Structure 1
C-alpha cells in the first residue's frame, strides 16, 4: 500500500513498487524523492516511512525488508542503499536462495536531521541517532551517536601519505 502525501514531491522517474505482501510505504509532507530512486518491498514485511522534509537523492535504493524508518529533515545523498534484511547462508546442504532470510536485527532507524553521504550502505540493525553525519562511501550496521560525525577510513593507494 502506497500512502504518499499530496504535499510530497515524487519524481515521475522514481520507481516505487507496491507490495504484494502488505508492506506499507508512507511518504510525508514536504518529502522529496528524486529521479531514479527505487523503493522495493522485498525480503520481509516491514514498512517504509519517509518523514517530512526529507530528501532522497538520485540512484538511492531502499528495500523494505524488516522496515525502514526515516525521520524528518533527513538528507540522503545519491547512490545509497538501505537494506534492512540479510540472506540466510549457514546451511551448506541448501542453496542460499532456498534458505530465505535471517531473523530481523530491527530494521533501519534514521532519526531526524541526519545527513548521509553519497554511496553509503546501511544494513539491518542500523540506528542513526539525531543529527549525526555519515561520510560518503560508509558502511553502517550498528548504532551511531547523536550529533556525531562518522567517516570511513580512506583507502590505501600508492603514493598516499597519512
Structure 2
C-alpha cells in the first residue's frame, strides 16, 4: 500500500505543479478529478499486478477504459509523476514510461505490428521528463530520450535523442533550441 500511496503522492504533486495552483494536500474528493482519477486507476492496476493479482488488476484497467477512454496494460512500468492532461482515445502500450512524463489526449504508444504477447522489444521506451503532444503516435521499439518533446500529431518511428523535439509525419528530430542555428530567414534578410 505504501508504494501505491508514494506513486499517487508524486503524481498529485506534479499535477499541482503543472496546473500552477501550488501543492495542495491530496484529498478523497480529488479522486473525481478527470486528470487524477485515471492515474489512480492506472496505479491501482499496476500495484495489483505487482502483488501477483493479474486477473484482479484487469478490473481497474477496464474501468479506466470504459470511463476515461484510456487503455493501459497493468503490467507496464510507469515512473512517478505521471500527468495525463486529457485521456480520451489514449493507448499506452509502451515497454516502460519513466518519471515525470506528461501525455496529452489521443496519444498512442505501441508496437508497429499486432503484438498480443506484449513483446517489450517491439514497444517504445519513454525516458524521464518526456512530453508527448495531442494525437502523437510513437510506434515500434524506439526510445524517446530524456526531456524530449513529441509534437502534436507527429508519428515517431525512430529514436528521439535527449532534449530533442520530434515533429512531423514521419517525425524528424530537431535539436534543442540552444543548438539550433539562428540564421535569418528570407523574410528577415529582406528587411535588414
TM-score above 0.5, yes or no: yes
Q: Which has the higher contact order (CA 8 A, sep 6+)?
A: 1
TM-aligned CA distance change 1:22 to 1:102, over 3 Å: closer
1:135 counterpart residue number: 151
- Greater Rg over alpha carbons, structure: 2
Q: Which string of whole-angstrom CA distances, capped at 9 and with x for unpartnered residues, describes residues 71-102 of structure 1?
A: 111111111111236228xxxxxxxxxxx779
Q: 1:36 aligns with which of 59, 68, 71?
A: 68
1:91 counterpart residue number: none
Segments of structure 2 that go 5 or more residues without pairing to the other structure are: 13-30, 59-66, 171-192
Paired residues in the alignment total: 125
Distance (whole Å) between structure 2 residues aligned to residue 48 and residue 102 of structure 1: 10
TM-score (norm 2): 0.50
Q: 1:150 aligns with which of 166, 169, 174?
A: 166
Segments of structure 1 that go 5 or more residues without pairing to the other structure are: 26-34, 89-99, 155-162
Q: Secondary structure at the match of 2:96?
A: strand
Q: 1:71 aligns with which of 68, 73, 98?
A: 98
Alignment of structure 1 residues 47-66 onto 2, 5 Å: 47-58=75-86, 59=88, 60-63=90-93
Q: Displacement of 1:108 after TM fit?
A: 1.7
Q: Displacement of 1:54 after TM fit?
A: 2.1
Q: CA RMSD in A?
A: 3.7
- Kept in 1, the 8 Å contact 2:84–2:103? The answer is yes
- Kept in 2, the 8 Å contact 1:80–1:119? The answer is yes
- Kept in 1, the 8 Å contact 2:83–2:101? The answer is yes
TM-score (norm 1): 0.58
Q: Displacement of 1:62 after TM fit?
A: 1.6
Distance (whole Å) between structure 2 residues aligned to residue 147 and residue 111 of structure 1: 11
Shifted more, 73-82 versus 10-19: the winner is 10-19
